[in-house]
Amino acid sequence: MKSRNKLRVCVLSLSLACACALVQAQDVVIIANKSLSFSQITSAQLRDIFIGARSQFADGTRAIPAVLKGGPVHEVFLRNHVQDNPDEFRVRWRKVVFTGQGAMLKEFTSESALFEYVVATPGAIGYVSRVSDPSAVRVLTVEH
């Protein structure tokens, strides 16, 4: 009986570990407006665009970053591609705004609203958990 309980605990622990690993490995899809002529972006360029250090893509097109206001997709994007947590990211942009050095990023409360904005705005770049209509946007591959 005892050994059966031990086995259950082991299986449960293993399942939890696998679930955690899956969440860690989860990534978002980087999407951009279809007007862009390229399908790849380096991880450094992507980060620079979202921290305000770069306002243009490599081809000179103006980049307009769009973000979600919060939630797990936002957290995964920040962790994997900006190396910030949501608080650090918010402080970073508040500093830009309140010191007169720039404007706040476009923020959206839902993935669908962000997706529609990217579809409609030349130069827009954002992220979603999955792409419902791949033909409407350009899905960017991130080079590490």
Q: Interface with another protein by CB under 8 A: which residues?
A: 42, 44, 48, 53-56, 62, 70, 83, 85-87, 90-91, 94-95, 97-104, 106-107
Closer CB to another protein, 14 or 91, in the complex: 91
Q: How far is the CB of 21 from another protein (least distance, A)?
A: 19
Q: How far is the CB of 39 from another protein (least distance, A)?
A: 20
Closer CB to another protein, 15 or 83, in the complex: 83
- Give the position of tokens 């970053």: 65
Cα distance between residue 4 and residue 6, in whole Å: 5
Buried-exposed string 92-111: b where 16+ CB fall within 10 A, e elsewhere: ebeebeeeeeeeebbebeeb
Closer CB to another protein, 43 or 131, in the complex: 43
The residues, any chain, with a CB within 8 Å of residue 113's CB and separated by 6 or more, are none
Cα distance between residue 121 and residue 142, in whole Å: 21
Q: How far is the CB of 55 from another protein (least distance, A)?
A: 6
Closer CB to another protein, 27 or 107, in the complex: 107
Q: How far is the CB of 18 from another protein (least distance, A)?
A: 25
